[in-house]
Amino acid sequence: MAERSFKEEVKKLRAGDGERFQGEGILAITKALLQSGVSYVGGYQGSPISHLMDVLNDAQDILGELGVHFEASGSEATAAAMLSASINYPLRGAVTWKSTVGTNVASDALSNIASSGVTGGAMVIVGEDYGEGSSIMQERSYAFAMKAQMWLLDPRPNLTSIVDMVEKGFELSEASNTPIFYMMRIRGCHVTGEFVARDNREPQFSDRAPVTPHREPEKIILPPNVYAQEREKIAQRLPAAIEFIKANKLNEVFPGRHEHLGIITCGGSYNTVIRALQRQGLSDVYGNTDIPIYVLNVAYPLIPEELVDFCVGKEQVLVLEEGQPEYIEQGIQTALRRADFQTRVFGKDIMPMAGEYTGQVMLLGITRFIEASSGPEIELLSSAEEVAALETPLVEEDQQALLDNVPPRPSGLCTGCPERPLFSAVKQVQEELGPFHISSDIGCHSFATLAPFNLGNTIMGYGLSLASSSSVRHALPHKAISIMGDGGFWHNGLTSGVASAVFNHHDGLLIVVDNGYSAATGGQDIPSLVEPNIIASTIDADAPRRDDYQSIEEACRGAGVKWIRTVSTYNIEAMKNTLHEALTSSLPGLKVVVAEGECMLNRQRRVKPMMKSAIASGKRIHRSRFYVDPQTCTGDHGCIRLSGCPSLTIKDNPDPLRTDPVSYVDNSCVGCGVCGENAHSAVLCPSFSQVDLVYNPNSFDRAKDTLRQRVIAWFRRRDEQRMEAASL
């Protein structure tokens, strides 16, 4: 069950011809796929296209009605390999993932399909995770498009253009027998807007209309076919693509009255360009511009003829291309020089090489361009100097004061997260056996590398922690430690990690964080399930049931692991002992600890409604949460340094003698019990209590409670009298 449900929104996917469709970019893409008559869809979740997978998952009814086949692929490589269906048959299909990381994983299959060529339209929707809000290293997908020769679409970020370009993209793919990258930027994925819908189309082939199997041996990627395929790319597919792009006007030219200037931009940046021009009085809000603009909705390949046409009569053009290297700018230079055009091309010489083209960057760049290229005939509303000053109105002293007074908010584990007690345990074991070198991985557990845990040295990729420890293990004073999530384990950790480690007699420790979901990407299901935790709060609902689950432990045993233990993360003592044993054991071979604890976000989504209905139906249950006694807390916050739970915070000290804030558990506490476990296992302090609220108490509860209240009240009166007598 994913974090966000689109059950309501997917109903919009049934919209027919002429209906106004309102929604998010991701939903619009899904609708466009259905309008294009896709036969299969797949992918692997990851920001910013996680919701695309969630939408597809929630839209299975509609997909089924149309005969569209959907798979939640095991990895991006799995998804990319799905595209092979379009090699021999006119089957349209689309897969999606986070790029560039997903593209890297998928690259083997992608290169091969790009070489074979396709008959049916094949599209990869890449969520370009670049710029603010990104969670990965900063690279462009563009390089991959160039080297494998796949076309790269980068449409203007309004829903009408987004939807049209999906449909045109399939046609382009089929016209040029080439698979396509369809690039969505972070903000474009989440943009809301509207477009006019068309009817959905049933795919030509599906489970109700099967294909006739046939072979095209020349499309198999063996020599000598591969040489022919490369020649075909250049001789046939590229010219066909250029012809299609020109004929269908996929790129757009917006004329303007200052014809000696021009701006060449990728579609994805078009809105930012218009806003910058508008702020300089050179465009209105409808995009009626004074400076001619050539919009590359197809970022690759470039169309030399269109470029040359655009530059006729232009003295200077500005190329707006996010990120580096500046492939498009280089391509434009080549095209113009070959045509012997002398138009001056500005680009990365006045624009930043690295980083996003935000509103401010764009405004400053365009202002500089116009100031550098034009005489006084173009009057700007603000000079480059004035634009640069917009960056901040703050005087330096105030800037410094803000630096000191705006606390950073690094990513961290959620309230009640099962990984918190695991890392508390690792931290405590480290105090005894450390310091540790730890190979970390991708997932929520990556945040253990940040405060307050500060555990982990390297992150090499999804499911690659164990693999990356293999080169350092011989040089460590302790057994190598790798931490991997269940998502990473199934993605490729089982093969590139576990199988390889066993084969190479790796005798280190692998901790598999088993929370039951691909949690960091929004809580999607994965092959394995997790047993419900035994934690402080009661409603320990049944496990999320699925008959067809695959077991991590069995998979490890199958791969040859002999030493394997499954431990609940919430049992810090047991976890410490198990880790200690694994790290000090003299037995040879890989030690695997499956650290089990259901993702708390998913658990809460499951348990909260059950809790509510149980209370409403009069069932006797209790709900736990934790409490810090402000009278015994001395305010050293050691508990926070060991936990970092969002609900374990601080508040002003109610004791007028004390000045430092006390620790405090707020009402978002879900009663996972880690505070108590830590208080015990780290011998912290006697300030933590678990408070259980009893709902629908029975008569025995009430009788006990009344008796207690009476006795305590009697003592209270006596205490109060004594205190009164002894007071000042």
The residues in 146-175 that bind other proteins, with binding defined as CB under 8 A, are 157-158, 160
Considering the complex, state which of residue 128 and residue 174 has its C-beta at the smaller distance from other proteins: 128
Min dist CB 624 to other proteins, Å, is 9
Sequence length of the chain is: 728
Cβ(16)–Cβ(493) below 8 Å: no
- 293-296 vs 252-254, strand pairing mode: antiparallel
Q: Three-state DSSP class for 260?
A: coil
Quick check: 341 binds other proteins (CB under 8 A)? no
Quick check: 527 binds other proteins (CB under 8 A)? no
Residue 502 amino acid letter? V
Considering the complex, state which of residue 202 and residue 655 has its C-beta at the smaller distance from other proteins: 655
Please give the structure tokens belonging to residue 203: 């795919």
Quick check: 247 binds other proteins (CB under 8 A)? no
List 191, 422, 561, 672, residue binding other proteins (CB under 8 A): 191
Please give the structure tokens belonging to residue 559: 């791969």
List of residues 6+ apart from 220 with CB closer than 8 A: 116
Considering the complex, state which of residue 143 and residue 450 has its C-beta at the smaller distance from other proteins: 450
Give the closest residue to 588 by CA, choosing from 557, 552, 561, 556. Answer: 561
- Residue 585 CA to residue 478 CA, distance in Å, equals 11
Quick check: 190 binds other proteins (CB under 8 A)? yes
Quick check: 383 binds other proteins (CB under 8 A)? no
List of residues 6+ apart from 278 with CB closer than 8 A: 284, 285
Give the closest residue to 117 by CA, choosing from 226, 5, 263, 256. Answer: 226
Quick check: 221 binds other proteins (CB under 8 A)? no
As a dihedral over the C-alpha atoms of residue 290, residue 292, residue 296, residue 301, rounded to 10 degrees, the angle is -170
List 3, 290, 315, 581, residue binding other proteins (CB under 8 A): 3
Give the closest residue to 421 by CA, choosing from 568, 300, 295, 322. Answer: 568
End-to-end CA distance of the chain: 62
Min dist CB 24 to other proteins, Å, is 9
Question: Cα-atom radius of gyration of the chain, to the nearest Å?
Answer: 30
- 517-518 vs 509-514, strand pairing mode: unpaired
Quick check: 10 binds other proteins (CB under 8 A)? no
- Among positions 21-60, residues that touch other proteins (CB under 8 A) are 47
Min dist CB 431 to other proteins, Å, is 9
- Among positions 414-473, residues that touch other proteins (CB under 8 A) are 414-415, 444, 447, 451-452
Segment interacting with other proteins, rule: CB under 8 A, options 63-71, 202-210, 268-276, 433-441:
268-276
List 5, 60, 192, 334, residue binding other proteins (CB under 8 A): 192
Min dist CB 536 to other proteins, Å, is 9
List 155, 188, 508, 597, residue binding other proteins (CB under 8 A): 188
List 235, 334, 531, 715, residue binding other proteins (CB under 8 A): 715
- Among positions 276-315, residues that touch other proteins (CB under 8 A) are 278-279, 284-287
Min dist CB 613 to other proteins, Å, is 16
Min dist CB 501 to other proteins, Å, is 28
CB neighbour burial string for 580-604, b if at least 16 within 10 angstroms, e if fewer? eebbeeeeebbbbbbbbbbbbbbbb
Min dist CB 670 to other proteins, Å, is 12
List 7, 403, 474, 586, residue binding other proteins (CB under 8 A): 403
CB neighbour burial string for 19-42, b if at least 16 within 10 angstroms, e if fewer? eebebbbbbbbbbbbbbbbbbbbb
- Backbone phi and psi for residue 83, each to the nearest 5 degrees, phi listed first: -60, -15
**Phi-psi map region of 76: left, alpha, beta (phi>0 left; psi -120 to 50 alpha):** alpha
Min dist CB 727 to other proteins, Å, is 5
Segment interacting with other proteins, rule: CB under 8 A, options 8-16, 327-335, 611-619, 635-643:
635-643
Min dist CB 293 to other proteins, Å, is 11
Burial tier of 188 (Cβ tally within 10 Å: 0-12, 13-18, 19+): buried
Min dist CB 312 to other proteins, Å, is 26
- Provide the mask over 673-712, with x wherever binding to other proteins is found by CB under 8 A and - wherever it is not: ---x--xxx-xxxx-xxxxxxxx-x---xx-xx-xx--xx
Size of the site for other proteins (CB under 8 A): 125
Segment interacting with other proteins, rule: CB under 8 A, options 265-273, 296-304, 366-374, 576-584:
265-273
Min dist CB 345 to other proteins, Å, is 25
Quick check: 394 binds other proteins (CB under 8 A)? yes
- Residue 155 CA to residue 161 CA, distance in Å, equals 6
- 69-72 vs 40-43, strand pairing mode: parallel
Quick check: 5 binds other proteins (CB under 8 A)? no
Considering the complex, state which of residue 151 and residue 182 has its C-beta at the smaller distance from other proteins: 182
Quick check: 18 binds other proteins (CB under 8 A)? no
Considering the complex, state which of residue 359 and residue 589 has its C-beta at the smaller distance from other proteins: 359
Quick check: 135 binds other proteins (CB under 8 A)? yes
Residue 327 amino acid letter? Y
Residue whose structure tokens are 């069995």: 554
* DSSP of 206-243: BTTB-------GGGSS-TTHHHHHHHHIIIIIHHHHHH
- Among positions 82-121, residues that touch other proteins (CB under 8 A) are none
Segment interacting with other proteins, rule: CB under 8 A, options 171-179, 589-597, 605-613, 638-646:
638-646
Segment interacting with other proteins, rule: CB under 8 A, options 7-15, 182-190, 216-224, 323-331:
182-190
Segment interacting with other proteins, rule: CB under 8 A, options 315-323, 355-363, 488-496, 562-570:
355-363
Quick check: 609 binds other proteins (CB under 8 A)? no
Taking the alpha carbons of 107, 129, 523, 444 in that order, is the dihedral positive or negative?
Answer: positive
Quick check: 490 binds other proteins (CB under 8 A)? no
SS3 per-residue string spanning 310-372: HHCCCCEEEEECCCCCCHHHHHHHHHHHHCCCCCEEECCCCCCCCCCCCHHHHHHHHHHHHHH
List 14, 187, 260, 605, residue binding other proteins (CB under 8 A): 187
Quick check: 538 binds other proteins (CB under 8 A)? no
